[in-house]
Amino acid sequence: MRSAVLVVGVLLLGLGTAAPAGAVAAGCGPASVSVADRTLYEGTPAAGEPSPATTFTFTVSVTAAAGCAPTGSVSYQTEDGSPGATGQADYVPAAGQLSWNGDSSPRTVAVQVVKDAAGEPNEPFLLRLSDPVGLVLADDLAAGGILDDDGVGGPPVVVSTDGGKICWKVCSVGVGLGGPAKAPVTVHYRTLPVGSGEPAYVPVKDATVTIPPGASGGGAVVELLPAKPGQGESRFVLELVSTSAGKLGAARTEVTIKPGG
């Protein structure tokens, strides 16, 4: 008798029964899915850079009603712009499927855009969502905006450091562009010692500064160490190593540290 009661309870409560893929919980409508545009500089390959490409990461978001969990899937595929970028020549075509099973975190799609040093117009390509299962498409099309950084759509992107720099207490070396950035520009930098004395700063092997859209520069920060009694001036070189857009101009600047300034 007890076993029969347990069996009835399991059937009534649905315990241990998984919802089929793409099924929507009772009282919940299908969640909606949207994909956002992404615009970046194409990038110029550095000397010896293997398979030079810039990764365009598209965000695909899902929105469900309060108290409801999104469940389902959607397909995606890149398309050439018309006119615009061409698959293989300008970017690597991508296709696949994204799925949700109760969590509402966004998914991402990465598309590799081929870097080159040729001046050319800005070129769009598209990322299209299709074939929703258990979901509805709210915004099924995103533009991938490939910005030229070699001089056709305006001055070429050239990244340079300040001239000689004097630091005390804190040290931020200017990293500038020739004009406002149209998309984020990320620059890698490092420090190089000058002389054989004990450094008065924390050496940097690889750090980055990101110049946001609309800005013409940023600061490469180097941490200074507390000055010791009787410590005199010391120096180091800040070197820009690579940039996500355009090319490097004046890549090095010598920095003088004045203790206690």
CA distances from 82 to 78, 85, 88, 123, 254 (A): 13, 8, 15, 9, 48
DSSP state of 164: S
Predicted local confidence at residue 12, as pLDDT: 32
Q: Is the pLDDT of residue 208 over 90?
A: yes
Is 233:241 a contact under the CB 8 Å cutoff?
no
Q: How confident is the model at residue 25 (pLDDT cuts 50, 70, 90)?
A: low
How much is the average pLDDT of 226-244? 90
List, for residues 96-108, the tens digit of each pLDDT value. Answer: 999 999 999 999 9
Q: How confident is the model at residue 216 (pLDDT cuts 50, 70, 90)?
A: very high
Show the CA angle centred on residue 68, arms to residues 65 and 69, nearest 5°.
Answer: 115
Burial of 163 (C-beta count, 10 Å sphere; 0-12/13-18/19+): exposed
Is 145:39 a contact under the CB 8 Å cutoff?
yes
Total-model pTM: 0.83
DSSP state of 214: T
Is 78:93 a contact under the CB 8 Å cutoff?
yes
State the pairing for strand pair 165-167/252-257. Answer: parallel
Predicted local confidence at residue 65, as pLDDT: 93
Give the chain's domains with CATH numbers: 21-147 (2.60.40.2030), 158-257 (2.60.40.2030)
List, for residues 111-166, the tens digit of each pLDDT value. Answer: 999 999 999 999 999 999 999 999 999 999 999 999 999 988 778 999 999 888 99
Neighbours of 11 (CB within 10 A): 10
List, for residues 31-81, the tens digit of each pLDDT value. Answer: 999 999 999 999 999 888 888 999 999 999 999 999 999 999 999 999 999
Residue indicated by tokens 């241990």: 16
The edge-to-edge listing of strands for the beta sheet with 95-101 is: 38-41, 141-147, 123-133, 71-80, 95-101
